Amino acid sequence: MITSQDWSKTDDRLLQAVEQNDPEKVATLLVKKGLCPSKLDSEGKSAFHLCASRGRLDCLEVILSHGVDISVTDGTGFNALHLAAKNGQSECLKRLLQSMPVDATDSFGRTSLHHAGNKNV
């Protein structure tokens, strides 16, 4: 588990780059600073999960191309596929389905199909 002292301003910059949908900055931070896109902040968020939940497809592509543990879950037990489905992010969902098992369950025993059904994705 990441403690607050493990989280840095540079990690915050990666989250901000995803929020601003800036794939070039995401790539720069991953390469030059060696950041981990699945590192969780104190609220249980990561840049990887934020891409999926907010529909930041270009940033997601950058993170996937730099290698990320796609099975990692956020602080609530959702993986990126669950978050994309839960938030109706169909483009990210399509991309993640290329590399993630559709039958992976969240902390409540639900799959991404359950979440997608609730959003009519």
Q: Domain holding 68: CATH number?
A: 1.25.40.20
Nearest to 63 by CA among 1, 113, 72: 72
Decide: residue 104, CB within 10 A, 0-12 exposed, 13-18 middle, 19+ buried. Answer: middle
Structural domain of residue 99, as residue ranges? 7-119
pLDDT per residue as tens digits for the range 48-74: 999 999 999 999 999 999 999 999 999
**Residue 1 CB contacts under 8 Å (≥ 6 apart), including other chains:** 40
Would you say the pTM of this structure is higher than 0.85? yes
Number of domains making up the chain: 1
- The low-confidence residues of the chain, meaning pLDDT below 50, are 1-5
Residue 2 included in any domain: no
